[in-house]
Amino acid sequence: MDRLTWRTRDFLDRSLSRCRLAPPDVLRPSAVTDYRRTTVVALSGEERVTIDHGLVGYRGDWEVRMRPNVVLLEVKTRGGLTTTERRLHALGVREARFSKYAAALAALEPDLRGNRWHRAMGHCMDHPSRVRHPKDAVAGD
């Protein structure tokens, strides 16, 4: 979804006003992201693990996709290392700061200043390509 609901717009306007900033009349998406998420919750309630895959980012006529063999895994806990985190560490998996939106935007706009997402993007994102619209499809594709 690339449109703000009235509730979201109201929240944005109120938040900006509290900071003494004038809400803009028109908002346009700088980038749109989409992905699939699977969530696993421990019966103990001690942790929740989210697995995101199929990330795609769009900006104008360009898109960038996460490589198909990559997932973003996030362990959310009440504090302290969990069994899942210990197993991930034993497998050599280490924490990396990653924002799906920021990585997609950075991949689609490589000239962004202070782009700290390049290293993480290099491991999981393909190169941007032109979006193929249905009207552009050729028979036999």
Question: Alpha carbon 46 to chain centroid distance?
Answer: 25
Work out the number of other CB atoms within 10 angstroms of the CB of residue 136.
9
DSSP the chain: --S--HHHHHHHHHHHHHTT-PPPS----S-EEEEEEEEEE-TTSSEEEEEEEEEEEEETTEEEEB-TT--EEEEEESSS--HHHHHHHHTT-------HHHHHHHHH-TT-TT-TTHHHHHHHB---EE---GGG--TT-
pLDDT exceeds cutoff 80 at 134: no
Residue closest to 57 by CA, chosen among 66, 48, 69: 66
Give residue 113's pLDDT. Answer: 64
Place of tokens 């690339």: 2
**Per-residue pLDDT band at 137 (split at 50, 70, 90):** very low
The pTM (predicted TM-score) of the whole model is: 0.73
**Per-residue pLDDT band at 52 (split at 50, 70, 90):** very high
Mean pLDDT, rounded, of the chain:
84
Give residue 36's pLDDT. Answer: 96
Give residue 11's pLDDT. Answer: 92
Report how far residue 94's alpha carbon sits from residue 50's, in angstroms, rounded to the nearest whole number: 16
